[in-house]
Amino acid sequence: MLNTALQSDLSALVQGVNMIWVLTVTFLIFFMHAGFAMLEAGQVRSKNVANQLTKNLLTWSVGVVIYFLVGAAISTITGGLTGGGSYAVVDAFAAIYMPEAGAAAAWVNWLFGAVFAMTAATIVSGAVAGRAKLRAYVSYTILLAAVIYPVIVGFTWGGGFLSSLGFKDFAGGVIVHAMGGIAGLTAAWIIGPRMNRFNDDGTANVIPGHSLTFAVLGTLILAFGWYGFNVGTSASPLALDGSAVVLGSFATVGRVALVTTLGMAAGAIGAAGVAIYKTGKVDTLYVANGLLAGLVGITSIADAIVWPGAIAVGILAGAQLPVVFEFVEKRLHIDDVCAVFPVHGSAGILGALAYPFVATSFWSGSASFVGLLVPQVVGVAVIAVWTFAATALVFGALRAIGQARVSRQHEVEGLDTSEHGVDTYPEFGGPDESSARVDGGTIRSDGGVASNTFEPASTSETDSEARTEDEL
């Protein structure tokens, strides 16, 4: 009897510690929204700052309610349908709304999943900044939280067929970040570029962001929150083994913290190195976005790789950023304002596909290279195709009914005025008319290096419109 009572007390202790841990890292991940808000606000024009901040606020507010009402259950149903498990619709929703008595952790676990879902959703806003209607973005957020993201979770973490296949994504490098990056790129492609972003001959013009300070501050807030993202995924610090309390999944937390730190630092170094090679200068936004790309690259594999692999993956994830951004800009002619695809999309894909090269199981000889690679390739392909198709369908439909993009006049005026009726910086007055059109500067809203060249303004109507759009 005494032993049973002791085990009961220890069980309550273990559950309490685990729940406190999950809630703590959940709040840390939630704080990443402050980082996204600052990073994106810094990379848009001053006339679009309030719009970008509003989108970040509504992503959480609308998305988390929809994920509670619909999305979490959809992920459970999808996992059962594709993984051979239970998929009773009523039970899936009841488990969220009315968890069984004694299931104290049910809503805690839901909230932990919800902050991951909202991270995926908010990535999209940075790609379509400056021209997407607020109603279009919110509509997409609703569908992402209700269906698009939950289906991916069902395929993977929800026990679906990709999980059965052996697809590896520890903390969402593909499920969350690559998904958000692919969705953002698709949306930006369908909506089209900002006015005067590209010339008739296909060459690109720089549209500088209004605050490098905000962008770097947002980067560092995101990096801080990322420890909750990666380290926090070790969601059960303690476990009960008979009458003894032992380390649970927390046994890997040291490795996760180390490789997260190394990947982060290596990503910034990789981006800086490529920037120097390409331009002879170290562009600050490349360094900031490279740091984030290194984090994304390491996120899906942080619990099971050798530490030299973390440095290699981080460097590659940072180094690909300038290359992929230039390809998106100059070859695809897609206006990805905050470089969400090279930061989140291609970096997440790279990290997942690099797993066989750096996995502890491969270097210890307990797993084959091909056996590790095939599930990663299949998983990345399935998630990419589903995300692209679903996003293209939603934004394609919105464009078809004329609801995807603001009018030309509203875009020139700025979305702060046209969509919200506010002026983010009223003390500075209206924009000044310039006698020269700026085609370059030291701060790029897209994470690249500007050319610092000036051209005399033309008296033509086209150039007059360009000057109006280029004003801050």
Q: Is the pLDDT of residue 263 over 80?
A: yes
pTM beyond 0.75: the answer is: yes
Phi then psi dihedrals of residue 247, to 5 deg: -70, 135
Domain residue ranges in the chain: 15-234+257-409
- pLDDT at res. 198: 96
Which residue type sits at 67? Answer: Y
Candidates 1.10.150.120, 3.30.56.10, 1.10.3430.10, 1.10.760.10; correct CATH number of 15-234+257-409? 1.10.3430.10
Measured distance CA(320)–CA(316) in Å, rounded: 6
For residues 212 and 249, the model is more confident at: 212
Instruction: Give the pLDDT confidence of 137-185 residue by residue, as tens digits.
Output: 999 999 999 999 999 999 999 999 999 999 999 999 999 999 999 999 9
What residues contact residue 94 under an 8 Å CB cut-off, 6+ apart?
Answer: none
Burial 377-396 (b: 16+ CB within 10 A, else e): eebbebbbebbeebbeebbe
Average pLDDT (16-25) is 91
Q: Are 285 and 215 contacting, i.e. CB atoms less than 8 angstroms apart?
A: yes
- pLDDT at res. 339: 97
Instruction: Give the pLDDT confidence of 379-408 residue by residue, as tens digits.
Output: 999 999 999 999 999 999 999 999 999 999
Which residue type sits at 18? Answer: N
Instruction: Give the pLDDT confidence of 319-366 residue by residue, as tens digits.
Output: 999 999 999 999 999 999 999 999 999 999 999 999 999 999 999 999
